[in-house]
Amino acid sequence: SNSASPDPEVPILDGSAAQFARVIAGNVKLSHPETRLPIVKVIKPIFIEDKAETGATAELLPLDAEEGIDISKMLVVSISLDSYNNKLPARNIERYTFDSLQTWINEVGQARTFVFESEVESLRRNNLGIGGSLRNCVVYDDVSNSSPGGKVKVLNRQGLRNTDEWLWHKLLDVYGDLSLIRPLGILNAHFRAFRPGHSINNQVLHALENNKDSFVIL
């Protein structure tokens, strides 16, 4: 890791999960019976709202409670993001499902973490983002190029890897955060969130674990 922090960190590499996913795919027999985990099936809705801080909401819903969703999918994700005070266009992803590892890498896994230029100084003052650079992070120039239209310039010379890369990275964060339930098994639910982030994602998992009647282990 490039970090000077005393706490152990996973290396940031290029700011995405693509390299990790490719290594795992090449070394793990994903379909081997002995590697299969139990299924944590959500049977009652769980809802969390962050009223004081970000206004974010997150919920876990039973898949078979919604029409039009293939309940054989382990996890369905729907996220909605506003415009970060008109810095980025409001966007949403509806009912995303994992179909194949290569597709997931191309759409989600390669999306890099992002930051606004106006946040960089504060992050470094608080010993955060150590090792971050244009090589491993998308930096949006909201200092000199912000506009009421919701568009800001990307400082990275090579631009974005795909349209709305920041949105896809938020989806990547959801997958990473929800995977923390793995000691229990694989999550089977529809996760829906407005302004998802590590905090609200983590809170909804804790709420699930604290409400034993909201899920069953299969």
The pLDDT of residue 169: 95
Mean pLDDT (whole number) for 87-94: 91
Residue 1 predicted with pLDDT over 90: no
Q: Taking a C-beta distance cutoff of 8 angstroms, is the pair 76, 96 a contact? A: yes
Known catalytic residues? 198
The pLDDT of residue 130: 79
**Which one is predicted more confidently, 5 or 93?**
93
Mean pLDDT of the chain: 85
Strand partners, 215: 42
pTM of the model: 0.85
pLDDT level of residue 110 (50, 70, 90 thresholds):
very high
Give the tens place of pLDDT for each residue, 149-181.
556 889 999 999 988 999 999 999 999 999 999
Give the tens place of pLDDT for each residue, 189-204.
999 999 999 999 999 9
Mean pLDDT (whole number) for 83-92: 85
pLDDT level of residue 3 (50, 70, 90 thresholds):
very low
Range from 20-24, 30-34, 143-147 carrying the lowest mean pLDDT = 30-34
The pLDDT of residue 2: 43
